[in-house]
């Protein structure tokens, strides 16, 4: 029974759990930290290169023409959800350590997931084509928007980013993505023919970024710095963000008078937040001691959204 239940858990969830446990008991420290950061940056570079290789330019261009769907969705993801994260940041700052509270703002500025939003949209009977293109476009926008949007909304925070942080975004995220797009003529067929291998490279790249970031948080005493009350407040904040994300995106889709298929696609693309973008970006922008703590709300949100999405998709499908 145990192995059967384990097999039903999303592989990315299992890898994230292993990365967090490994960082908790065997964190990288001392002279190994700079080496681990180099490995993490290299993994992130490879991750975004492969994203550039796989993402068809034709699909992006075709999807970007559906303005009635994409423009409100982008506004919801990068404005409404960011505003929700900003409000939670200021509310939680009264009860949680500053970096954990700031993590809610970081969570709000992240783009949607790609695989899970599309998969659950399909299970729920949504418009898969709209979901695929929306996820792709939102993640491209996220590469450009998340870091400066977070920096702007964080204001005078201790982790506000300057030109150095944005330079890292260009060299470790944008550059490999552009190289992947440029090299599609030679590499895309290979990538599409080895989907399983490429998918596991993606997952391990994200897991490495989480492991290095969380190792820094463990060194800073995350398990002792946060009390049971803190964990309770963190859970409450994540719950409120989930309610706002899922409830708000469903209501927004209705207000836009989208057909049912597009409304379901809007729901999942609008409510899901991507740790595939969040963990690598945090690893690039911040020191591990900061990134690991800042990522706590995003990690909790990501894991919980997957747990909620399956029964929600089943209910939508029955309806």
pLDDT at 246: 96
CB 318, CB 262: distance < 8 Å: no
**Who's near 256: CB < 8 A, 6+ residues apart?**
68, 72, 266
With the C-alpha atoms ordered 201, 48, 281, 307, is the resulting torsion angle positive or negative? negative
Q: How many CA atoms lie within 13 A of 54 on its CB side?
A: 22
**Who's near 21: CB < 8 A, 6+ residues apart?**
none
pLDDT (tens digit per residue) in 86-129:
999 999 989 998 899 999 999 999 988 766 777 778 778 887 76
CA–CA distance, 262 with 178 (Å, rounded to integer): 30
Name the DSSP class of 188.
H
Where is pLDDT greater, at 181 or 242?
Answer: 242
Domains and CATH numbers, the chain: 2-318 (1.20.1530.20)
pLDDT at 10: 66
pLDDT (tens digit per residue) in 257-268:
988 888 998 999
Share of the chain above pLDDT 90, in %: 23
Binned at pLDDT 50, 70 and 90, residue 243 comes out as: very high
Q: By three-state DSSP, how is residue 9 classified?
A: coil
CA–CA distance, 301 with 244 (Å, rounded to integer): 12
- 18 pLDDT above the threshold of 90: no
- Rounded to 5 degrees, φ, ψ at 31 are -70, -20
What pTM was computed for the model? 0.77
Give the alpha-carbon dihedral of 227, 110, 7, 20, to 10 degrees: -40
pLDDT (tens digit per residue) in 269-278:
899 998 878 8
- Max mean pLDDT among 25-29, 49-53, 87-91 falls in 87-91
Binned at pLDDT 50, 70 and 90, residue 61 comes out as: low
**Who's near 36: CB < 8 A, 6+ residues apart?**
28, 212, 215, 288
| Least confident stretch, 74-83, 127-136, 252-261, 275-284 | 127-136
pLDDT (tens digit per residue) in 181-239:
888 888 888 888 888 888 788 778 777 877 877 787 787 777 777 788 989 999 999 99
pLDDT (tens digit per residue) in 156-175:
655 555 555 556 666 776 78
CA 208 to chain centre: 15
Nearest alpha carbon to residue 108 among 69, 145, 70, 159: 145
- Rounded to 5 degrees, φ, ψ at 171 are -80, -30
Residue 201 gets the label, from left (phi > 0), alpha (psi -120 to 50) or beta, of alpha
CB 95, CB 71: distance < 8 Å: no
């Amino acid at each position: 029974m145990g192995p059967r239940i384990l097999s039903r858990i999303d592989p990315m969830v299992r890898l994230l759990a292993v990365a967090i446990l490994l960082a908790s008991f065997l964190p990288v420290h001392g002279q190994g930290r700079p080496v681990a950061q180099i490995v993490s940056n290299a993994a992130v570079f490879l991750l975004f290169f492969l994203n550039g290789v796989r993402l068809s330019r034709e699909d992006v261009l075709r999807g970007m023409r559906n303005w009635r769907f994409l423009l409100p969705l982008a506004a919801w993801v990068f404005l409404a959800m960011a505003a929700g994260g900003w409000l939670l940041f200021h509310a939680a700052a009264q009860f949680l350590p500053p970096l954990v509270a700031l993590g809610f703002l970081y969570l709000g500025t992240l783009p949607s997931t790609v695989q899970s939003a599309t998969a659950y949209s399909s299970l729920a009977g949504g418009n898969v084509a709209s979901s695929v293109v929306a996820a792709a476009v939102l993640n491209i926008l996220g590469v450009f928007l998340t870091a400066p949007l977070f920096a702007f909304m964080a204001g005078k925070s201790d982790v506000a980013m300057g030109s150095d942080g944005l330079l890292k975004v260009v060299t470790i995220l944008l550059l490999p993505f552009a190289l992947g797009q440029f090299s599609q003529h030679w590499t895309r067929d290979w990538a599409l023919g080895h989907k399983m291998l490429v998918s596991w490279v993606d997952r391990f790249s994200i897991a490495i970024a989480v492991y290095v970031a969380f190792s820094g948080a463990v060194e800073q005493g995350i398990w002792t710095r946060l009390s049971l009350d803190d964990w309770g407040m963190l859970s409450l904040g994540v719950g409120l963000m989930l309610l706002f994300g899922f409830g708000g995106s469903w209501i927004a889709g209705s207000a836009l008078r989208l057909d049912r298929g597009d409304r379901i696609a809007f729901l999942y693309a609008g409510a899901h937040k991507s740790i595939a973008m969040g963990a690598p970006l945090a690893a690039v922008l911040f020191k591990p001691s900061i990134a690991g703590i800042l990522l706590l709300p995003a990690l909790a949100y990501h894991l919980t959204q997957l747990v909620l999405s399956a029964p929600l998709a089943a209910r939508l499908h029955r309806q």
